[in-house]
């Protein structure tokens, strides 16, 4: 299986059950004796899902990111200007420190 297909398969699994998937990765790393993550790992989500309008569980994702040493990327183009006390998006809406989100993608 090409690496690209493997990455897409991982992304699909992650989107369905983020917590369970991250636990599987951690268990696999432990079984293989990995002491240090050799590649960067990311959690990527939309702040507001375009098709459903549901909000991503940003506080839970931040907790998982910190627990498993991942980086959190939020595509927040539908939330910036709308969510949060001052319109700064999903993280502000949930009261999460914006610095906990590594990258916030918004349109220009």
In which region does residue 19 sit, left (phi positive, over 0), alpha (psi from -120 to 50) or beta (all else)? alpha
Q: What is the mean pLDDT of the chain?
A: 76
Q: Which of 5-14, 22-31, 53-62, 83-92 has the lowest mean pLDDT?
A: 5-14
Mean pLDDT of the 75-92 span: 90
Residue 39 banded pLDDT, cuts 50, 70, 90: low
The pLDDT score that the predictor gives to residue 5 is: 47
**Which helix (H) or strand (E) is 43 found in, with range?**
strand 42-46
Q: Which of 1-10, 14-23, 35-44, 61-70 has the lowest mean pLDDT?
A: 1-10
Mean pLDDT of the 49-73 span: 88
| In the predicted structure, residue 16 carries a pLDDT above the cut 60 | no
- Separation in Å, CA 92 to CA 2, 3, 11, 54, 85: 39, 35, 25, 16, 7
Question: Would the pTM of this model clear 0.75, i.e. be above it?
Answer: no
Domain 3-105 classification at class level: alpha beta
**Domain residue ranges in the chain:** 3-105
């Amino acid at each position: 299986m090409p690496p690209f297909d493997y990455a897409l398969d991982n992304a699909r699994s992650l989107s369905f059950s983020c917590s369970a998937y991250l636990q599987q990765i951690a268990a696999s790393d432990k079984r293989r004796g990995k002491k240090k993550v050799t590649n960067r790992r990311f959690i990527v989500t939309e702040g507001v899902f375009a098709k459903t309008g549901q909000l991503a569980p940003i506080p839970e994702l931040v907790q998982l990111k910190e627990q498993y040493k991942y980086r959190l990327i939020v595509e927040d183009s539908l939330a910036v200007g709308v969510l949060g006390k001052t319109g700064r998006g999903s993280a502000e809406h949930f009261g999460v420190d914006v610095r906990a989100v590594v990258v916030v993608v918004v349109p220009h």
